[in-house]
Structure 1
């Protein structure tokens, strides 16, 4: 069964092009399309969606505001942000609010498809050109608090998993690296989130970087 994707892009020509690229992969299906954040929220009430691929600059409700509202109403929803602007400010805002990745539209189709699959599998994708600019913001401006006493409560196995999350690894990759089942990895991640009082995988990745685990 194919993964169900909501495609959010205000320019119909670009949206059609992205749809053609994405649906070349038989495991991916565009089940709904939207031209802004308002339509995206409406679509989520009507369709089961595994992932949102969303533009960031749109009239009406843009991708930054849409990410915030979508994650508030659907906390586990995976969102991959696309933009023509190689700008770390957009990346920081969307990742801070819970997006799972950030790619520019000029990326090769293979990179887009790889990014989609990585996010679907629980990974985090950051455009190479943005990552170097973004890390100082994640390190110094993130609202997450460094709580070393919580970190000390993690087991060695949980620390290993946290390190790999900080490196952007998916659950499948973590399982293969540590010779664990994917179910066991998921259980550990749930435990880590509880111990560190964090909301989601993106916050775990930021936490790992800020605390020097990566």
Structure 2
């Protein structure tokens, strides 16, 4: 069972999301919060595999809660769910290593697929959000993209897969590697390129047109 924390200030919306998510029998909402502070309080009392946080909530926003959760409980995967297709919000969410930025108007099947992908190490960004944030992220990383680095063919293959949006399990299956080996290669790539996370690897791959 995947233990999920759901933070959403509107009770009806929260209950609707819960019903949608729990159509997958392996996903269970075991903690509900109406603001970021309540989400933090729940994390102190229970263990969660994943947290889904609305951005705009009273007392403490989802972004503020995410910063604390990522610092204190780094193993908890965080997805941001919002009605706001806003570049600034999305950039901040990715800066603090959210595993996804989703809009509330998506279908239940799409939401479940996104949760599954994030749990497997994927990064999930709605297409219309990605269209806004990718140019800004690329611009911020231009100094890194201009560096000359020595990458092995295997590292380039893994970077290409990340650029295609694959998660670790999918990369492992595609390249006939173990998930652990994929994670090790990713760590080496991050170190070689002085990048922060797989989002920046994806940007690097797209900018350099790295393909398999």
Q: Does 1:81 align with 2:87?
A: no
* SS of the residue 2:166 aligns to: coil
- 1:75-128 alpha-carbon deviations (Å, 9 max, x no partner): 343111111122222111101211011111110111000000010011011111
Report what 2:2 is aligned to: 3
Q: Using structure 1 for the length normalisation, give the TM-score.
A: 0.89
Deviates more, 1:201-210 or 1:76-85: 201-210
TM-superposed CA distance for 1:195, in Å, is: 3.1
CA contact (8 A) 1:8 1:36 kept: yes
Separation (CA, whole Å) in 2 of partners of 1:71 and 1:211: 30
Q: Which residues of 2 match residues 105-120 of structure 1 at below 5 A? A: 105-120=104-119
Indicate if the aligned counterparts of 1:99 and 1:202 stay in contact, CA closer than 8 A.
Answer: no
What residue is the counterpart of 1:62 in the other structure? 61
Q: 1:111 to 1:35 in 2, by over 3 A?
A: same
For residue 191 of structure 2, what is the aligned residue in structure 1? 194
Would the aligned equivalents of 2:4 and 2:30 in 1 still touch at CA under 8 Å? yes
DSSP 3-state at the match of 1:49: coil
1:185 aligns with 2:203: no
Q: Note the aligned Cα RMSD (angstroms).
A: 2.1
- Which is further off, 157-166 or 19-28? 157-166
Given that residues 78 and 99 in structure 2 are in contact (C-alpha distance below 8 angstroms), is that contact kept between their aligned partners in structure 1? yes
What CA deviation, in whole Å up to 9, does each residue of 1:31-52 have, x standing for no partner? 2111122121221122221111
Residues 6 and 31 of structure 2 are in contact (CA less than 8 Å); yes or no, is this contact kept in structure 1? yes
Kept in 2, the 8 Å contact 1:138–1:210? The answer is no
Count of residue correspondences: 211
Pick aligned residue for 1:172 from 169, 172, 178: 169
Q: Indicate yes or no: 2:148 matched with 1:163.
A: no
TM-superposed CA distance for 1:142, in Å, is 5.2
Q: Matched residues in 1 for 2:33 and 2:142: separation?
A: 31
* Counterpart position of 2:138: 139
User: 5+ unaligned residues in a row in structure 2: which ranges?
Assistant: none
Q: Distance in 2 between matches of 1:65 and 1:39?
A: 12
Structure 1 stretch displaced more, 98-107 or 42-51? 42-51
Q: 1:141 to 1:199 in 2, by over 3 A?
A: closer
Q: Given the two structures, how large is their TM-score scaled by the length of structure 2?
A: 0.89
CA contact (8 A) 2:20 2:108 kept: yes
Distance of 2:202 and 2:70 partners within structure 1: 17
- Evaluate the alpha carbon distance shift between residue 126 and residue 59 of structure 1 in structure 2; reply closer, same or farther with a 3 A threshold: same
